[in-house]
C-alpha cells in the first residue's frame, strides 16, 4: 500500500535526494540515472528506470522499490515537464475559445 509508513519514509528520503540536486542523467533514452547515496563517502547508485533496477542493497538484494528509483522517477518527471512546457500556448487558445463560447 502506498500509504504505509515504509512507503512514506522512502518517499520522504527520495524527496531529500532529489532536493540535493545531484541526480545525473547517464542515458536519457535508456532512462539510466546516477543517484547519490545518502551515506557519506559512498559512490552514487546506478538506477535503470526502464528495467526498474538499482544497484543498492534494497533493490538488488531485497527487491524493493528503493528511494533511489523513486528519486530518479521524480527527476525524470521534472525533466519531462521542462521539455514539454515550451509549446504551452495551445492550451490558452482552448481556454480562450471556451471563454468566448460562454461569453455569448
Cβ-Cβ contacts under 8 Å for 38 (sequence gap 6 or more): 13, 16, 17, 67
What minimum distance in Å lies between the beta carbon of 99 and Zn ion? 47
Min CB(67)–Zn ion separation in Å: 6
Stretch touching Zn ion by CB under 5 A, among 1-9, 52-60, 76-84, 88-96: 52-60
Shorter beta-carbon distance to Zn ion: residue 36 or 79: 36
Stretch that binds Zn ion, among 7-15, 21-29, 63-71, 81-89 (CB under 5 A): 63-71
Is there binding between residue 48 and Zn ion (CB under 5 A)? no
Q: Buried b / exposed e across 13-30, counting CB within 10 Å, b at 16+?
A: bbeebbeeeebeeeeeee
Q: Of 9-17, 24-32, 47-55, 87-95, which segment contacts Zn ion by CB under 5 A?
A: 47-55
Query: Going by C-beta distance under 8 Å and a sequence separation of 6 or more, which residues neighbour residue 54?
Result: 35, 45, 46, 47, 48, 60, 66, 68, 69, 72
Chain positions contacting Zn ion, by CB under 5 A = 45, 54, 56, 59, 66, 68
Amino acid at each position: 500500500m502506498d500509504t504505509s509508513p515504509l512507503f512514506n519514509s522512502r518517499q520522504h528520503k527520495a524527496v531529500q535526494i532529489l532536493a540535493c540536486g545531484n541526480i545525473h542523467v547517464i542515458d536519457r533514452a535508456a532512462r539510466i540515472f546516477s543517484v547519490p547515496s545518502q551515506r557519506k563517502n559512498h559512490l552514487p547508485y546506478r538506477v535503470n528506470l526502464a528495467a526498474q533496477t538499482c544497484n543498492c542493497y534494497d533493490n538488488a538484494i531485497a527487491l524493493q522499490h528503493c528511494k533511489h528509483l523513486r528519486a530518479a522517477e521524480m527527476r525524470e518527471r521534472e525533466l519531462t515537464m521542462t521539455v514539454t512546457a515550451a509549446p504551452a500556448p495551445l492550451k490558452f487558445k482552448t481556454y480562450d475559445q471556451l471563454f468566448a463560447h460562454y461569453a455569448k
